């Protein structure tokens, strides 16, 4: 019983690292990692795909040019906001 609890505790400690490791290896959307063209969402997305996209901030994408398909992560837009002068 103690061994099971220790194993469960070790898995709980490793879960955040494993999730971060998985998400860090995903390519950035919307650019295809093979041909650099813009990807699009698949024709049909299942309920589990939509739920996983909400939980992990990833989406299933496919490339119409080369046929690549898989999960991608979105990066934050790096835009400079022009400061408005008062008055």
Return the pLDDT at 52. Answer: 76
Do residues 62 and 69 lie in contact, with contact meaning Cβ atoms separated by under 8 Å? yes
**Per-run averaged pLDDT (10 residues), the chain, 87 residues:** 93 91 87 90 78 78 89 72 55
* Closest among 43, 86, 84 to 64, alpha carbons compared: 43
The model's pTM: 0.61
80 vs 76: CA distance, rounded Å: 12
């Amino acid at each position: 019983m103690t061994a099971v609890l220790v194993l469960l505790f070790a898995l709980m400690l490793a879960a955040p690292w494993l999730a971060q490791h998985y998400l860090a290896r995903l390519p950035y959307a919307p650019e295809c990692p093979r041909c650099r063209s813009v990807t699009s969402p698949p024709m049909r997305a299942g309920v589990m795909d939509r739920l996983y996209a909400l939980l992990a901030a990833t989406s299933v994408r496919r490339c119409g040019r080369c046929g690549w398909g898989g999960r991608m992560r979105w990066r934050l837009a790096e835009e400079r906001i022009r400061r408005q002068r008062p008055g």
